[in-house]
Structure 1
Amino acid sequence: MPARRNSVRCFLVTAVLFGSGAALAADPSGPSFSCAGVGPGSIEQMVCTDPALSALDRKLAGVYGAAAAKAVNERPPVLKAEQRGWIKGRNDCWKADDRRACVEEQYRLRIAELQAKHRLVPAIGPVRFACDGKAANALTASFFETDPPTMIAERGDEVSLMVGQPAASGARYQGRNESFWEHQGEARVTWGYGASEMTCRKAP
């Protein structure tokens, strides 16, 4: 009986994290959550009725499961809280001019973020960069084959996840308050809000 209780508890936790909190969908072509009882006009209803968004939801559920397996001993546990925050952000897409595009982008970015943070896809690196000739400005970067491309940069005890951006040349990434643009062996980096741009080169 204890084992059965644990299975049921695990089932319900997963349902809460994906969608409205209802039981998981039995329909393999639908999203990872049950569409029974979703509100009319809600973001959940949009996901339920759009095959491409449903597929993204199922993909996210699989990626989240793989990330959770790696983060099982994480202290403090943050993955579940982050996922609840992401669901709230996805549902806020009802405010967007193009709701569907907003929802799709939210899914793609969350999938890429989990894949990079938990090293679920191939990566290049870590690559060390020397910036402005100062040891304190040294930067270490890992580049992940996600969609969209992502990188994780570390500087001292600070870490930034950056997402690939369109660029006429080179590779450009943007984080919350950080940016990275590498072109012909040289990288232009800003680190922190209002910070001056640094010139960085790969360290030997």
Structure 2
Amino acid sequence: MSRRVVATAALLLAAATAHAELPVEVQRDLWKDYGSPRVATRYREARVDLDGNGREDIVILLNGKRACSRAGCPTLVYAPEGKDGWRRVATIAATQAPIGVAAARNAGWRDLVVHVRGSRTASPIVELSFDGGTYPANAAAKNPFVKPTEQVGDVLIGATDAANAGEMLTLPPETGIADTVDAESVKATRKISARHGKAAAKGPDAPSFNCGLAMANSEKLICDTPELAALDREVAAELAKMLKGQPEDRETELNSEQHIWTTTRNACATSADAVGCVRTAYRQRLVALKIQQGLATVSSTRTYDCKNQRTPLVAAFYAETDPKAVALTWGKSKAVLYADGARYADGLFEFREDNGKVVSKWHRLTLNCTLRP
């Protein structure tokens, strides 16, 4: 490697670490999912304009037992929203440093480059493309938006063997909860946290999360709307049942999936009918969780052969759920879609059937299929 390349990488790494403190909204969001007064979580961050809007986004790599699994640690992406707000764009499980950014773009966002352990690809380095809403939830899983590469791109967060690298994740002081992890203050912190959590969860109308830490407008709406708070408790209960007894890697994957769904739910804040949008998001999530646990009744199952594809598309229909749904399996890829008029849809997936002929959109690929006799 030339001295010029080394110098450039060093400058990029220095730029990635020499930043002001994380925005309070971001700190609160991180603490809600990864913070603990008993277990230290550290983070390293870099700021870069990923979507080309002239404003810097934040890329964060976490480290610590509460955040990481044997497969790696999560990388999170935050984008500025409005004048001073922030929203979580992506939670990517099973990543390792160095973290880079490529020149290639998809849906307007630059590709991220991460290292992985135990990847299903041939390379320990993978390039993650934006799918129009987020980056892949698991860097080590098979996904059309994950591809092997040999180029790290511009390094944002460099590799290190130091266990204490990065900043300590702490809770912003204005929330009123202690943010220390040293042994002397753990006992006091537990009392304060328990008291605050109890106050926040008091009453039959409280959601599963601590309203005192609510960051997103959708979360505040849920705290103020008993119907939505009840749906939130129901989703949290189903997720807890599903997580029980799962191996660590699967638990990480499920939590990442939940974080991605939460990002979608929080986007409802900009909807003309925010309450209706959040309600729909919760009902769809409940259906997906029950299907994954085998608790929903399959009305019928059909297999379709698709043009120019060796792998058939299998559809399991659920006519008794609310909303009605279809669980699609195409090879190792799975998706749950929800009834929307004459079609089923969810984000980048779509399924429409007419007299045994199916058109299904699978990320960027369109499948044309016919019902197998």
Q: What TM-score, normalized by structure 2, do the two folds share?
A: 0.41
Q: CA deviation at 1:194?
A: 6.0
Structure of greater Rg: 2
Q: Which residue of 1 aligns with 2:152?
A: none
Taking the TM superposition and a 5 Å limit, the aligned residue runs for 1:57-76 are: 57-69=232-244, 72-73=246-247, 75-76=249-250
Structure 1 unaligned blocks of 5 or more: 1-7, 14-19
Q: CA deviation at 1:99?
A: 2.1
Taking the TM superposition and a 5 Å limit, the aligned residue runs for 1:14-93 are: 23=197, 25-36=201-212, 38=214, 42-69=217-244, 72-73=246-247, 75-76=249-250, 77-93=252-268
Q: CA deviation at 1:103?
A: 1.8
1:128-175 Cα offsets, whole Å, 9 max, x none, are 23345x7715221212343212212122333232221112xxxx3224
SS of residue matched to 2:304: strand
Q: CA deviation at 1:91?
A: 2.8
Of the three residues 165, 174, 198, the one matched with 2:345 is 174
8 Å contact kept, 1:178–1:189 = no
Of the three residues 304, 313, 324, the one matched with 1:149 is 324
Of the three residues 279, 285, 292, the one matched with 1:104 is 279
Q: 1:143 to 1:69 in 2, by over 3 A?
A: farther
1 CA distance for matches of 2:313 and 2:242?
Answer: 26
1:51-70 Cα offsets, whole Å, 9 max, x none, are 21122112111221222237
1:33-63 Cα offsets, whole Å, 9 max, x none, are 3434657x93333212212112211211122
1 CA distance for matches of 2:261 and 2:364?
Answer: 27
8 Å contact kept, 2:352–2:360 = no
2 CA distance for matches of 1:82 and 1:61?
Answer: 13
Q: Which residue of 1 aligns with 2:339?
A: 164
Q: 1:83 to 1:180 in 2, by over 3 A?
A: closer
More helix per residue:
1
Q: CA deviation at 1:74?
A: 6.0
Coordinate RMSD, CA, aligned: 3.4
Q: Which residue of 2 aligns with 1:118?
A: 293
Structure 2 unaligned blocks of 5 or more: 1-37, 40-65, 67-174, 176-192
Q: What TM-score, normalized by structure 1, do the two folds share?
A: 0.69
8 Å contact kept, 1:67–1:120 = no
Identity of aligned residues (%): 26
Taking the TM superposition and a 5 Å limit, the aligned residue runs for 1:1-16 are: none
8 Å contact kept, 2:306–2:313 = yes
| 1:136 corresponds to 2:310 | yes
How many residue pairs match? The answer is: 179
Q: 1:135 to 1:148 in 2, by over 3 A?
A: same
SS of residue matched to 2:202: coil
1:181-203 Cα offsets, whole Å, 9 max, x none, are 3345x132224356555241143
2 CA distance for matches of 1:150 and 1:100?
Answer: 21
Q: 1:37 to 1:192 in 2, by over 3 A?
A: closer
1:90-147 Cα offsets, whole Å, 9 max, x none, are 3333333332222222212222222223323222354323345x77152212123432
Report the residue type matching 2:297 in the other structure.
P
8 Å contact kept, 1:32–1:61 = yes
